[in-house]
C-alpha cells in the first residue's frame, strides 16, 4: 500500500470539493438571497424575476452531473487549456452542478427566518440591504452553516465522476482498484482504506457543520 | 393639530375590505385604544401607520404633514419616529438583549459603537432590564421579551408607539406590568401610544380615548369614559358588556343606571329608602377611570306603574342618567 498515493488522492478530492463549494457559495449565496427576496415572502416580491431565476436553477439541478461535465468540456478547456486529466479540471463542472443546489439550500434557510423579525426591522425603517445583512443572514446563520455542510457533502459525491475524466481523487482511486483486480477487489485492503477515508471525510464535514451551527446558535444558550 | 390623523383609510385583501373609510384623529399624548373583534381590521390600521401595509385609499397625516397614502411611502426618518411593538415581540434570537436594542440604532446609522451601547443601555435601564443586557432572548420570559422590544422601540426616541396586541401573549399579571410601563412612558416622555387590543381590560386600564372597529368600519370613537359609559352601537355594547350577558332574564324589562363619576351617594340604597321601592339588581359594574368612578347598574323595572314613575322622577331629580332596556339589554 502506498500511503503517499492515498494522501494525494485525499488532497485531490478535498481540493476539488472545497474549491467548487467555495465558488458555488460565491454565486449560490447571492442567488439564494435573490430567490428569497423576489419570492412571495421576500423584501421585493417580483414574480417575473423569481420565475426566471427559479427556472434556471431548476433546469441546472435537473441535468445529471455527468452530462453537465461533458457539456462543459469546451468551457473547461477554454479556461485551463485542457478538460481532463487533472483534479482542477473538475472545478468548473462541479461548480455548475452545485451552485443551483446551494441557491435552493440558502433560500430554504432564509425561509425559516421568522417574518415578524423582518417586519420589526422594516418598522424601524431598515433598508433592504440592512435587513438582509443584519436580520436575515444573522438569524439564519445556524441553518446556513448546516446547509454548507450539506452542500459540501453533496459536491463530494459528485467528485466520483472525476474518475471518468482522469481527474483523480479518492473515489477514482476506488474505481482503479476495482479495475486492476475486478475478481477479487474486495479482498484488497486498499478498497477498505478508501472507504474508511471517505466516511471519515464526510463525517468530519458533517460534524464540523453541526458543531459550528450549534456553537453559533443562541437560541438554546441561556446565560 | 392632531399628532396623527387618519382620513378615510381603505384597504382590501383579495377583494375583502379590511378597512373601509376609517377616519380618526389622535392627539399628542393620547393613549388611543383601538378595540374590535379579531378580523375587524385593527392590526391593518396600525400597520398602515407604520408602512407595513400600503393603503388602497385615504391618507394618514403625521403632525400635519402627509405621512403616507396609496402613492406616497412613509419615509425612513418618520418610521423611526413611529415605533412599533408586536404581540410576538419579534426579537432577533441570534442577538443578545443589548444587540437587539442596538439594532434600531444600527439601522438608523448611528456609527459610533460607544454611543450605541450607552443609548441601548439607558433604554434597557428605562424598562428595568439592564442586568439582562448580555442575555439572549431565548432565556427571557414573555414579559421580559416585550420589555426588550419596548427598549428597542425607545432607542430612536419615538414620538409615537404603535402597540399591536402587545400584551395578548402575556399572562394577566405581566400584562398589567407592561401596561403600566407604557403608561409611564406616555406620562414621562410624552409619547403618544396607539394601542390595538381585543381585550377590553387592556384598553380600559390605560387608554384615554378609544375607537371601536367592526367589520372594517369605525363604529364609535371618543373619550374612553363616554364610549364605555354609553356605547351607542350594538357591537360596542357587545364588546363592552361581552362577559355580562345573562339570557335567562330575557322576559323582563330593565332600567340601566349610568354613573359618570359625579355622584358619591349610595343611589340604590337611597331608592329603597326614599321611594320605598324594592330594587332588584341584575348586574352591576363600576370601573375607576382617571381616578373617578364610572359604571352601570342594571335593575329590574318595577312592575307597578306608579312605582316606575316614582323611580324615574327620583333618578332625574338626582341627576342619575338612565335608560329603559328590553331584556337586560346587554347582549
What does the pLDDT look like over A16-26, one tens digit per residue? 999 999 999 99
Does B127 have pLDDT greater than 80?
A: yes
Closest-CA residue to B225 (of B262, B251, B189): B262
What pLDDT, on the 0 to 100 scale, is given for residue B93?
Answer: 94
Whether B265 shows a pLDDT value over 70: the answer reads yes
pLDDT at position B247 is 45
User: How confident is the model over B4-42, as pLDDT tens digits?
Assistant: 999 999 999 988 999 999 999 999 999 999 998 877 889
For B38-77, how does the pLDDT look when each residue is reduced to its tens digit (9 = 90+)?
778 899 999 999 999 999 999 999 999 999 998 999 998 8
CA distance B8 to B21: 4
In chain A, the percentage of residues whose pLDDT exceeds 70 is 98
Mean pLDDT (chain A, rounded) = 91
Cell of B293: 368612578
What is the percent of chain B where pLDDT is above 90?
A: 55
- Write out the three cell numbers for A63: 441535468
Q: Are B154 and B103 in contact (CB under 8 A)?
A: no
User: Can you tell me the mean pLDDT for B216-238?
Assistant: 86
pLDDT band at residue A223 using 50, 70 and 90 as cut-offs: very low
Query: Residue B286: is its pLDDT beyond 50?
Result: yes
Tell which residue, A12, A205, A198, A38, has the closest CA to residue A94: A12
Pick the CATH number of B4-238 from 3.20.20.70, 3.40.605.10, 3.40.50.300, 3.40.190.10: 3.40.50.300
B248 touching A, CB under 8 A?
Answer: no
Domain positions in chain B are: 4-238, 247-326
Chain A residue with minimal CA distance to B149?
A120
Nearest CA in chain B to A117: B90
Q: Provide ipTM, 2 decimals.
A: 0.85
Q: Is the pLDDT of residue B170 over 80?
A: yes
Shortest Cα distance, chain A CAs vs residue B71, angstroms: 17
Residue of B nearest to A220 (CA): B138
CATH number (domain holding residue A82): 1.10.3720.10
Question: Does residue B106 belong to the interface with chain A, where contact is any CB pair within 8 Å?
Answer: yes
Residue A154 has pLDDT above 90, yes or no: yes
Q: Is B52 on the interface with A (CB under 8 A)?
A: yes
Q: How many domains are there within chain A?
A: 1
| Rounded-to-integer distance, Cα B241 and Cα B17, Å | 27
State what percent of residues in chain A have pLDDT above 90: 59
pLDDT digits (tens, 9 = 90+) for A93-147: 999 999 999 999 999 999 999 999 999 999 999 999 999 999 999 999 999 999 9
Model pLDDT, residue B200? 86
Asked, for residue A136, whether it belongs to a domain, the answer is yes
Domain-located, residue A107? yes
Pick from A135, A138, A222: CB nearest B138? A222
Q: Residue B291 pLDDT > 70, yes or no? A: no
A210 lies in some domain: yes
Enter the C-alpha cell of residue B189: 416622555
Helix, strand or coil for residue B77?
A: helix
Contact at CB, A222 and B136, closer than 8 angstroms: yes
N residues, chain A: 223
Does residue A223 sit within a domain? no
* Prediction pTM value: 0.80
Helix (H) / strand (E) element for B287: namely strand B281-289
**Nearest-by-Cβ selection for B107 from A119, A126, A223:** A126
- The class that CATH gives domain B247-326 is alpha beta
Residue A74: which domain range? 3-216
Closest residue in chain A to residue B162, using alpha carbons only: A123
List pLDDT tens digits, range A26-51. Answer: 999 999 999 999 999 999 999 999 99
Cα–Cα dist A91/B132, whole Å: 49
Q: Kindly tell me if the per-residue pLDDT of B331 is higher than 60.
A: no
Q: Write b or e for each residue in B122-150: b if 16 or more Cβ atoms lie within 10 A of its Cβ, otherwise e.
A: ebbebbebbebbebbbbbbebbbbbbbbb
Taking Cα atoms as reference points, which of A112, A106, A134, A139 lies closest to residue A122? A134
Collect all residues with Cβ–Cβ distance below 8 Å to A50 and sequence separation of at least 6: A35, A38, A39, A42
Element spanning B296, H or E: strand B292-300
Task: Return the pLDDT at A168.
Answer: 82
Contact (Cβ atoms closer than 8 angstroms) between residue B211 and residue B180: no
Residue where the block lists cell 338612565: B322
Residue A222 has pLDDT above 50, yes or no: no
Residue B234, pLDDT above cutoff 70? yes
Separation between Cα atoms, residue A30 and residue B44, nearest integer Å: 33
Phi, psi of B88 (to 5 degrees): -95, 20
Residue A222 lies in a domain: no
Pairwise pLDDT comparison (B230 vs B187), residue with the higher score: B187
Please indicate whether residue A182 or residue A167 has the higher confidence score (pLDDT): A182
Amino acid at each position: 500500500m502506498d500511503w503517499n498515493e492515498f494522501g494525494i488522492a485525499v488532497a485531490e478530492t478535498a481540493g476539488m470539493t472545497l474549491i467548487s463549494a467555495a465558488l458555488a457559495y460565491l454565486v449560490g449565496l447571492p442567488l439564494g438571497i435573490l430567490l428569497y427576496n423576489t419570492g412571495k415572502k421576500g423584501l421585493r416580491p417580483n414574480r417575473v424575476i423569481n420565475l426566471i431565476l427559479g427556472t434556471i436553477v431548476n433546469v441546472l439541478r435537473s441535468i445529471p452531473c455527468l452530462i453537465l461535465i461533458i457539456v462543459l468540456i469546451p468551457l473547461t478547456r477554454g479556461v485551463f487549456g485542457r478538460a481532463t486529466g487533472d483534479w482542477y479540471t473538475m472545478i468548473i463542472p462541479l461548480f455548475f452542478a452545485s451552485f443551483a443546489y446551494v441557491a435552493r439550500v440558502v433560500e430554504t434557510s432564509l425561509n425559516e427566518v421568522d417574518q415578524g423579525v423582518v417586519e420589526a426591522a422594516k418598522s424601524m425603517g431598515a433598508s433592504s440591504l440592512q435587513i438582509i445583512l443584519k436580520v436575515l443572514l444573522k438569524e439564519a446563520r445556524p441553518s446556513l452553516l448546516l446547509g454548507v455542510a450539506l452542500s459540501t457533502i453533496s459536491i463530494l459525491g459528485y467528485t466520483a465522476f472525476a474518475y471518468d475524466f482522469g481527474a483523480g481523487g479518492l473515489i477514482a482511486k476506488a474505481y482503479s482498484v476495482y479495475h486492476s483486480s475486478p475478481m477479487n477487489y474486495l479482498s484488497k485492503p486498499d478498497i477498505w482504506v478508501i472507504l474508511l477515508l471517505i466516511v471519515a471525510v464526510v463525517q468530519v464535514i458533517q460534524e464540523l457543520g453541526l458543531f459550528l451551527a450549534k456553537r453559533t446558535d443562541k437560541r438554546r444558550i441561556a446565560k | 393639530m392632531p399628532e396623527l390623523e387618519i382620513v378615510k383609510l381603505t384597504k382590501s385583501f383579495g377583494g375583502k375590505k379590511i378597512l373601509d373609510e376609517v377616519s380618526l384623529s389622535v392627539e399628542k399624548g393620547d393613549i388611543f385604544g383601538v378595540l374590535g373583534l379579531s378580523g375587524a381590521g385593527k392590526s391593518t390600521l396600525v400597520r398602515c401607520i407604520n408602512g407595513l401595509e400600503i393603503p388602497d385609499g385615504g391618507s394618514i397625516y403625521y403632525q400635519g404633514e402627509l405621512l403616507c397614502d396609496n402613492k406616497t411611502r412613509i419615509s425612513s426618518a418618520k418610521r423611526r419616529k413611529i415605533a412599533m411593538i408586536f404581540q410576538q415581540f419579534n426579537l432577533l434570537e441570534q442577538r443578545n438583549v443589548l444587540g437587539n436594542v442596538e439594532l434600531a440604532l444600527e439601522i438608523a446609522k448611528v456609527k459610533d459603537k460607544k454611543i450605541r451601547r450607552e443609548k441601548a443601555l439607558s433604554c434597557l435601564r428605562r424598562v428595568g432590564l439592564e442586568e439582562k443586557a448580555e442575555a439572549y432572548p431565548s432565556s427571557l420570559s414573555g414579559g421580559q421579551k416585550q420589555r426588550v422590544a419596548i427598549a428597542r422601540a425607545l432607542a430612536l426616541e419615538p414620538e409615537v408607539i404603535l402597540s399591536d396586541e402587545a400584551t395578548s401573549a402575556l399572562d394577566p399579571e405581566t400584562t398589567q406590568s407592561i401596561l403600566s410601563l407604557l403608561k409611564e412612558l406616555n406620562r414621562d416622555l410624552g409619547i403618544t401610544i396607539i394601542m390595538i387590543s381585543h381585550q377590553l381590560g387592556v384598553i380600559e386600564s390605560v387608554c384615554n380615548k378609544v375607537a371601536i372597529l367592526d367589520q372594517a368600519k369605525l363604529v364609535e370613537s371618543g373619550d374612553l369614559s363616554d364610549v364605555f359609559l354609553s356605547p351607542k352601537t350594538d357591537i360596542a355594547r357587545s364588546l363592552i358588556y361581552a362577559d355580562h350577558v345573562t339570557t335567562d332574564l330575557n322576559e323582563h324589562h330593565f332600567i340601566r343606571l349610568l354613573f359618570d363619576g359625579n355622584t358619591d351617594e349610595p343611589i340604590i340604597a337611597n331608592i329603597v329608602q326614599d321611594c320605598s321601592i324594592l330594587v332588584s339588581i341584575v348586574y352591576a359594574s363600576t370601573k375607576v377611570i382617571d381616578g373617578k368612578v364610572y359604571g352601570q347598574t342594571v335593575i329590574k323595572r318595577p312592575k307597578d306603574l306608579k312605582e316606575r314613575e316614582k323611580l324615574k322622577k327620583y333618578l332625574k331629580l338626582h341627576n342619575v342618567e338612565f335608560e329603559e332596556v328590553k331584556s337586560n339589554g346587554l347582549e
